[in-house]
Chains A and B, each alone.
Chain A
């Protein structure tokens, strides 16, 4: 697609693109390239000499059980966060889509957590479920649960998943509501005339029509779980106890922070880059379909 009416100038367009181009080259492409190069290099213990080692950093990485576990954990977290947040948000959106009194108020009261930063989410949830002073921990203990997410890895993981899913409810709700409102009323009425009860109407008519939104949100939620959970994990568990809440991004951060293995940290970055490219690719393929839909 091109404009017919344009300006003639040789230098001006370059000058207009220059600011963003400079930032992109200096702060995006150059570091990304550095990471790629670094991932093929091995530095000796004193940082005096480096040698080109092909894929050794990658091979070492995949031999490391901790890395493998981090991959599985990240995927599990993503899946758990996406499913729990999406299903709860869909329930709320279906309810809010009904012609109810005060539906605008409901929308306002449900969308604001989008604005809460991940580290704040972490602080709110660790406070609520802190083993010694958490308000909800009292009730959990009263139920006979030995609640201590600071010591128990599974409980820590559950806490991260809950907190991350909580934050994402508002986002999913908003997109589900928009999706529901774009379904023509006549389609639902037709189903009603055919005698379909509300539950049946939902599963046979509304849910299939909503599938593009669901798929879009699934990808967005996975990307969110991969990257934006960093702040939640960092304020709540710091990847612990042990390594039970260490995701791929968190591992790149801690491995690089300890300054140990630059090559390995770079290789991890490159693998993450590939994952982002795949996820974004899926997202864009889907967006095209949504347009033709």
Chain B
């Protein structure tokens, strides 16, 4: 059902246009990289600050700012990612690095949802120091996002 839906993406007018255009794909791919830059740049900064590896700036100010930039980045990356995927859905669904990347992104997003609903997040917004649980989630976040970027680049090498 889901697979059929994903495969159908390849039959859309937009996918067809992307396959034929000389500049469409490189432009969308550039926007995808911009999304990754915003996402990973801000999330690494925030995670390292939560882990106290970086010490400057107050978490109560940095956390909402950086997580919002990361949210914009991830939305841009997902939007452009769907377009890049639509060019040849069957090819990507058969690529193990791509499937691994999707699994890693799903785990990372679950981590985001969990962290933002837990009391330690509200505590740092209120100016309190990061708890051990929050530091652990920052470490998980760092690992998952970096692994997702690596798996993504690996798509071209399997």
Real binding pair: no
Q: Which residues of A approach B to under 8 Å, CB–CB?
A: none
Q: Which residues of B approach A to under 8 Å, CB–CB?
A: none
